[in-house]
Amino acid sequence: GDSVTQMEGPVTLSEEAFLTINCTYTATGYPSLFWYVQYPGEGLQLLLKATKADDKGSNKGFEATYRKETTSFHLEKGSVQVSDSAVYFCALGEGEKLVFGKGTKLTVNP
Amino acid sequence: DGGITQSPKYLFRKEGQNVTLSCEQNLNHDAMYWYRQDPGQGLRLIYYSQIVNDFQKGDIAEGYSVSREKKESFPLTVTSAQKNPTAFYLCASSISLGGNQPQHFGDGTRLSIL
């Protein structure tokens, strides 16, 4: 079945460092791809999405490009802030449902 | 502001007890979902509903039940048959059922065993 694999965390960075969180997927068709963010004690919020190959989703300085040839959707940000500390989930949508990765915890230190 | 409201925020269950988690949305969304989140496990789908009076089992439905009598409401009951209910439960909704639809989430209910 469809699946999502994210890089293991936790990830700890200093403020203004470059962020990459890797995400690869396995799917039989052409899924939509999403990144969600979860702040402590809260639900998930949609961060960005891409619906077809070569699409780039972007929001709040975060970007991810749908790469069909490598089945990847890596999340990047050029300069992280302390307020970006959260858990990030990659997800794919195909058919009726979303399938989520296990999440990557990011901590940004001042 | 439109959104999803889950209540209570914290809930405690005794042995042999059924408990019900509330989920209400005012986004006018047709589809609603329940997920269970355990540390290091990501989100696992319990039940989902495409429309009023219709719902489907997700990947881990055993020990849970739902109803969808109103478009706005999708309560989840954790029954005594669920032997390991301690988890963070998230309710979500989307405009329609479909993997290409972004889902909007509530702030969750944390269930613990007394």
- Stronger pLDDT, A15 or A8, i.e. the higher one: A15
Token pair listed for A97: 């449902």
* Cβ atoms of B45 and B32 closer than 8 Å: no
**CB distance from A31 to chain B under 8 Å?**
yes
* Cβ atoms of A67 and A75 closer than 8 Å: no
**CB distance from A92 to chain B under 8 Å?**
yes
Distance from CA of B48 to the nearest CA of A (A): 9
B100/A89 CB distance under 8 A: no
| pLDDT score of A97 more than 90 | no
Nearby residues of B102 by Cβ (< 8 Å), 6 or more positions away: A34, A46, A49, B94
Residue A37 and residue A39: Cα distance in Å, rounded?
7
A97/B45 CB distance under 8 A: yes
Residue B37 and residue A107: Cα distance in Å, rounded?
20
pLDDT digits (tens, 9 = 90+) for B4-33: 999 999 999 888 899 999 999 999 999 999
Q: Which residues of A touch B38 (CB under 8 A)?
A: none
The total of other beta-carbon atoms located within 10 Å of residue A12's CB is: 12
**CB distance from A76 to chain B under 8 Å?**
no
Q: Number of A:B CB contacts under 8 A?
A: 58
pLDDT digits (tens, 9 = 90+) for A37-80: 999 889 999 999 999 999 999 999 999 999 999 999 999 999 99
B99/A94 CB distance under 8 A: yes
A103/B101 CB distance under 8 A: no
Nearby residues of B23 by Cβ (< 8 Å), 6 or more positions away: B4, B5, B6, B32, B34, B73, B74, B75, B76, B91, B106
